[in-house]
């Protein structure tokens, strides 16, 4: 028997995520923490494993240190395999040429040898910046049953938002006849989720052609898919019904975190039938002190809470001092909030030290937006950070 | 490191028969996410010991599941690492060992094969941080034949007979291995931690086979106080012995004191098996005070002065006070628990009130539904 894989996944994780501002100063977007315990990349990786796909190439480019470290040998996802498993694919120096990844398609093209060594029949292309739980094997079955050349996962979005997405216009049987990138007057509300399954042979062919085309911007959405459609390949839309969120902006990242809260959360990460695996921190259980209060919140191990936490998400090893009040906020790991500090409607990154009685952010009703503090900074005692501000340097009382 | 580690996982099972009936003492859950063996095992890793044998006797499935390949302690090593040593039976004698010496007889091969000069032996009956490296240094510096670690302390709740020492300087001059501890006069109580040369241990074990000795303290230590240099090493840091169910209960709740918690976990170096649980979720009606809560819990009721393990659900209107609630316990709505220890997978249905007493906690066995 020849060793081969039916389907392998290529995960595009090189994006800078510039719309996350200070949160991606030091790390790539897929490594941004989410939901107290996870990093964004845990979702596509866990989906792969839960869908029976055990070979994943992770294409990294921007600030890969934390991401590479986090993925490691893939053991937390059970992806440390002798044949297959998770592989980090960084841009490399070749004999004839060496290049950064010029676009999503170019990133895959440069690693075509990686794909070919598993001789897959199908290649699944994923983005590293979406929060969702999806069984890719159902999508693959759909692709095979329809004898498609390319299948694109799509989700119904509200009509008024449709003009923000890449829209798929399909016939009744799901065959795509037209793409529209951010149309002003959308004909349909079926938005592409940036998840593609290609029959491997077709993928090789179009990547090769795309690479030989000097005018191409080497992007799946802009070049490869329209070209395939124009050449009459069979392209299907696979409709996904479930929770899906592109967390590419501060607001959507905030919303996705808040969707975990509530008695019946919009998105449930504790569901054991579709476990989201992640690299777990080594920390003792969380401690809540005598005067602590924690309501409608998610809190991770290693935290010490002496103040009040409401409608918030706290990652591991966060310390909330006495009398401090955290409301409607996200606090990432190893951050310390001093006594009496107030945090409202904010995203606080890792390893931040917020001084006593400091005030960060203003209520959503102020209309100023979400305050964001980038990692590894200090906020002086008694300082005030306005709502909507993005801070990535030490902040003192004078407001500097 | 010049020492190989040996951990006895079963030896004090009788301390807490309720909890050890279905598992080894070493695999008794502790402190929200740990098991007792995590403490000696982590001490070994943190002291640079990377070859560790765990001696088992019975009921060790949970222990094997917990330790696994040892990767969570970084002990899944090509050279050395952790190895579970099940009881060794041969054709003539089919009965299991009954003493420490007999247990060691069963692992002479392991001891022969190791190439470290020293052996550190410990049991799983205490929560403490020990730097074995320092104890080995102390052993060498004092030209000791055997070094025994002790704690100067009074009796713990429900504690039975213990081994105590009299010392002159640091030399042990007499051993009382059936001492009844007093509640107010402290004594030098043995912590069941030994350091000696591997070659000496092998001699002791081989000699005990030919002379049919079985009791390490009585037949080896007490009998050789004059002929050998047997010294004591005093542990001055935090210590909690798991000597009875009551002591187990109190040691868990002791972690609620921030000072104790810092002493035990402060530098984040107690390793344990990693399990994937979602973060803990607090509902709109949650009230939690002075408690340790592990990951994966859903708290909708009230929790006070308690240690809550992983994946526990506390329903709306339920109240948990002064209790130790182990993994996967599910409390329905409007239940009240006070001074209770629930073992794993316990279910308490709606509107039940259960109460023990702070000096006599009530224990609910694994998997029981009330």
Token duo for residue B247:
């002591």
Binary contact (B307, A282; C-beta < 8 A): no
Pick the residue from chain A with its C-alpha nearest to B316: A263
Q: Is the CB of residue A299 less than 8 Å away from at least one CB of chain B?
A: yes
**Residue range B273-289: average pLDDT?**
92
Note the pLDDT of residue B1. Answer: 58
Among candidates B279, B283, B286 on the partner chain, residue whose Cβ is nearest the Cβ of A37: B279
Binary contact (B275, A295; C-beta < 8 A): no
**Residue range B295-311: average pLDDT?**
95
d(CA A148, CA A235): 6
A336-337 and A319-320: which strand pairing? parallel
pTM assigned to the model: 0.89
Pick the residue from chain B with its C-alpha nearest to A285: B294
- Listing DSSP states for B24-87 in one string gives -GGG-EETTTEETTHHHHHHHHHTT--EEEEE--SS-HHHHHHHTTSGGGT---SSSEEEEE--
Residues of A in contact with B264 (CB under 8 A): 284
Note the pLDDT of residue B95. Answer: 67
Chain B residues in contact with chain A using a Cβ-Cβ cutoff of 8 Å: 31-33, 71, 256, 258, 261, 264-265, 268, 270-272, 274-296, 298, 307-308
Residues of B in contact with A36 (CB under 8 A): 279
Comparing A113-127, A177-191, A193-207, the range with the smallest average pLDDT is: A177-191
Binary contact (A295, B286; C-beta < 8 A): yes
Q: Is the CB of residue A277 less than 8 Å away from at least one CB of chain B?
A: yes
With a CB cutoff of 8 Å and minimum separation 6, the contacts of A114 are A57, A87, A89
Best mutation site among A301, A309, A311, A334 for testing chain B: the one with the most B CBs within 10 Å?
A: A301
Comparing A160-169, A205-214, A312-321, A331-340, the range with the smallest average pLDDT is: A160-169
d(CA A142, CA A277): 26
Token duo for residue B282:
């607090």
pLDDT at A94 exceeding the cut of 80: no
Q: Is the CB of residue A263 less than 8 Å away from at least one CB of chain B?
A: yes
Residues of A in contact with B32 (CB under 8 A): 284-285
Binary contact (B292, A270; C-beta < 8 A): no
Closest-CA distance of chain B to residue A309, Å: 10
pLDDT at B18 exceeding the cut of 90: no
Residue B225, judged by CB atoms within 10 A of its CB (0-12, 13-18, 19+), counts as middle
Residues of B in contact with A270 (CB under 8 A): 277-278, 281, 296, 298
Note the pLDDT of residue A361. Answer: 95
Under a CB-based contact definition with an 8 Å cutoff, are residues B260 and B208 in contact?
Answer: no
Query: What is the side-by-side order of every strand in the sheet holding A319-320?
Result: A378-379, A353-354, A336-337, A319-320, A304-305, A286-288, B291-293, B307-308, B324-325, B340-342, B362-364
pLDDT at A339 exceeding the cut of 90: yes
Residues of B in contact with A263 (CB under 8 A): 283-284
* CA contacts within 13 A on the Cβ side of B235: 25
Binary contact (A270, B278; C-beta < 8 A): yes
Give the position of tokens 């003192």: A396
Note the pLDDT of residue A183. Answer: 86
Note the pLDDT of residue B345. Answer: 94
d(CA B345, CA B89): 34
Residue B92 pLDDT level (bands cut at 50, 70, 90) = low
**Residue range A317-345: average pLDDT?**
96
Residues of chain A with pLDDT > 90, as a percent, come to 74
Under a CB-based contact definition with an 8 Å cutoff, are residues A379 and A352 in contact?
Answer: yes
Q: Is the CB of residue A290 less than 8 Å away from at least one CB of chain B?
A: yes
**Residue range B57-64: average pLDDT?**
87
Kindly state the DSSP code that residue B369 receives in the 8-state scheme. Answer: B
Q: Is the CB of residue A301 less than 8 Å away from at least one CB of chain B?
A: yes
Mean pLDDT over each residue of chain A, to the nearest integer: 92
Kindly state the DSSP code that residue A45 receives in the 8-state scheme. Answer: H
**What kind and span of H or E run contains B230?**
strand B230-234
Note the pLDDT of residue B102. Answer: 83
d(CA B35, CA B31): 8
Residue A100 pLDDT level (bands cut at 50, 70, 90) = confident
Residue B208 pLDDT level (bands cut at 50, 70, 90) = confident
Comparing A329-343, B77-91, B158-172, B353-367, the range with the smallest average pLDDT is: B77-91
The residues in A 29-48 lying below 8 A from B, measured between CB atoms, are 35-37
Binary contact (B292, A285; C-beta < 8 A): yes
Binary contact (B292, A286; C-beta < 8 A): yes
Number of residues that this document lists for chain A: 400
**Residue range A25-45: average pLDDT?**
93
ipTM at complex level: 0.87
Binary contact (B274, A280; C-beta < 8 A): yes
Q: Helix, strand, or coil here: A74?
A: coil
B101-115 pLDDT, tens digit per residue, is 888 888 888 999 998
pLDDT at A119 exceeding the cut of 80: yes
Q: How many CB atoms lie within 10 A of CB B69?
A: 11
Among candidates B272, B284, B292 on the partner chain, residue whose Cβ is nearest the Cβ of A287: B292
Give CA torsion, residues A92, A97, A102, A108, to 10 deg.
Answer: -60
**Residue range B34-54: average pLDDT?**
93
């Amino acid at each position: 028997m020849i060793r081969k894989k039916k389907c392998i996944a290529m995960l595009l994780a090189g994006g800078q995520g510039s719309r996350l501002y200070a949160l991606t100063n030091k790390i790539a977007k897929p490594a941004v923490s989410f939901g107290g315990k996870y990093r964004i990349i845990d979702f596509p990786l866990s989906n792969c494993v839960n869908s029976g796909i055990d070979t994943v190439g992770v294409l990294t480019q921007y600030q890969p240190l934390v991401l590479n470290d986090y993925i490691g040998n893939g053991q937390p996802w059970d992806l440390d395999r002798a044949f297959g498993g998770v592989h980090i694919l960084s841009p490399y120096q070749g004999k004839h040429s060496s290049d950064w990844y010029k676009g999503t398609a170019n990133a895959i093209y440069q690693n075509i040898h990686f794909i070919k060594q598993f001789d897959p029949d199908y290649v699944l292309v994923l983005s590293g910046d979406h929060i969702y739980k999806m069984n890719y094997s159902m999508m693959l079955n759909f692709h095979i049953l329809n004898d498609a050349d390319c299948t694109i996962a799509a989700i119904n979005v509200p009509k008024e938002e449709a003009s923000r997405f890449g829209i798929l216009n399909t016939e009744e049987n799901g065959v795509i006849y037209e793409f529209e990138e951010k149309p002003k007057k959308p004909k349909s509300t079926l938005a592409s989720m940036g998840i593609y399954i290609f029959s491997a042979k077709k993928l090789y062919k179009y990547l090769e052609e795309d690479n030989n085309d000097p005018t191409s911007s080497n992007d799946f959405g802009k070049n490869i898919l329209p070209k395939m459609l124009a050449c009459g390949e069979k392209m299907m839309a696979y409709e996904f019904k479930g929770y899906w969120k592109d967390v590419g902006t501060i607001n959507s990242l905030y919303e996705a975190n808040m969707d975990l809260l509530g008695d019946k959360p919009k998105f449930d990460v504790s569901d054991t039938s579709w476990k989201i695996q992640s690299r777990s921190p080594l920390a003792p259980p969380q401690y809540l002190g005598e005067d602590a209060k924690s309501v409608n919140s998610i809190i991770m191990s290693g935290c010490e809470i002496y103040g009040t936490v409401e409608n918030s998400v706290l990652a591991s090893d966060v310390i909330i001092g006495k009398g401090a009040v955290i409301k409607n906020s996200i606090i990432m790991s190893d951050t310390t909030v001093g006594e009496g500090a107030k945090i409202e409607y904010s995203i606080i990154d890792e390893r931040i030290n917020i001084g006593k009685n400091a005030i960060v952010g203003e209520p959503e009703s102020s209309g100023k937006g979400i305050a964001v503090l980038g990692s590894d900074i200090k906020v002086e005692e008694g300082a005030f950070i306005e709502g909507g501000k993005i801070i990535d340097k030490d902040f003192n009382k004078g407001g500097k | 490191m010049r020492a190989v580690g040996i951990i006895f996982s079963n030896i004090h099972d009788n301390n807490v028969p309720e909890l050890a009936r279905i598992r080894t003492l070493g695999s008794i859950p502790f402190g929200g996410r740990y098991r007792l063996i995590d403490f000696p095992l982590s001490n070994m890793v943190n002291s640079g010991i990377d070859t560790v044998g765990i001696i088992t006797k019975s009921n060790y499935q949970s222990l094997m599941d917990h330790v696994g390949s040892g990767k969570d302690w970084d002990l899944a090593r090509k050279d050395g690492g952790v190895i579970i040593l099940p009881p060794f039976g041969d054709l003539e004698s089919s009965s299991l060992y009954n003493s420490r010496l007999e247990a060691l007889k069963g692992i002479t091969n392991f001891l022969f094969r190791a190439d470290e000069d020293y052996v550190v032996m410990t049991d799983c009956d205490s929560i403490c941080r020990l730097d074995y490296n320092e104890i080995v240094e102390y052993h060498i510096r004092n030209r000791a034949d055997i070094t025994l670690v002790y704690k100067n302390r009074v009796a713990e709740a429900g504690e039975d007979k213990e081994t105590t020492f009299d010392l002159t300087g640091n030399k042990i001059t007499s051993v009382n291995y059936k001492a009844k501890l007093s509640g107010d006069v402290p004594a030098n109580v043995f912590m069941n931690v030994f350091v000696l040369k591997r070659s000496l241990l092998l001699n002791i074990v081989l000699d005990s086979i030919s002379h049919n000795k079985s009791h390490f303290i009585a037949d080896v230590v007490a009998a050789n106080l004059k002929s050998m240099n047997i010294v004591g090493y005093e542990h001055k840091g935090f210590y909690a012995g798991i000597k009875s169910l009551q002591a187990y209960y109190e040691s868990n709740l002791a972690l609620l004191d921030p000072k104790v918690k810092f002493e035990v976990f402060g530098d984040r170096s107690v390793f344990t098996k990693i399990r994937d649980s979602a973060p803990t979720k607090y509902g709109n009606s949650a009230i939690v005070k002075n408690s340790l809560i592990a990951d994966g819990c859903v708290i909708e009721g009230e929790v006070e002065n308690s240690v809550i393990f992983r994946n526990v659900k506390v329903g709306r209107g339920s109240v948990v006070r002064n209790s130790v609630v182990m993994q996967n316990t599910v409390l329905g709505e409007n239940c009240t628990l006070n001074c209770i220890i629930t073992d794993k997978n316990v279910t308490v249905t709606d509107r039940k009130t259960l109460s023990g007493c702070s000096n006599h906690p009530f224990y609910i066995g694994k998997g029981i539904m009330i």
